[in-house]
Structure 1
Amino acid sequence: MSTVTVSNALNGTGRLSDATRQRVLAIVADIGDGSRTDEVSAPRPSVHGRSTHERLA
């Protein structure tokens, strides 16, 4: 599933079927959207193998 599909589903935009939109929303509800401040995760590598923090530094 592409990031554009997920973004469209979460923002209520784009041309998605109801089934796809509901699937995305169900997955986000199951794993969480990462917006809670008490959720701590390690930096994720980018396509080029650098962490987000390295790219912003």
Structure 2
Amino acid sequence: MRTRRETLYVSCEFLSDVKFTNLTANSALNLKVSQAEFSLRYEIKTDYREMILNVLK
């Protein structure tokens, strides 16, 4: 079973490898950066959520 983080990573890789193969290099780079920023925000959000839930137990 995949964790949320792994699923997000796989979907980002899928998007960059399959759907956007014919973008210009600059657009592809911007896409990668925006995915990385989203991934980082997502991980921070889920990590804090887990920490808070652990404190509330």
Question: Scaled by the length of structure 1, what TM-score is found?
Answer: 0.35
Greater relative contact order structure (CA < 8 Å, 6+ sep): 2
Q: When you count helix as a share of all residues, which structure comes out higher? A: 2
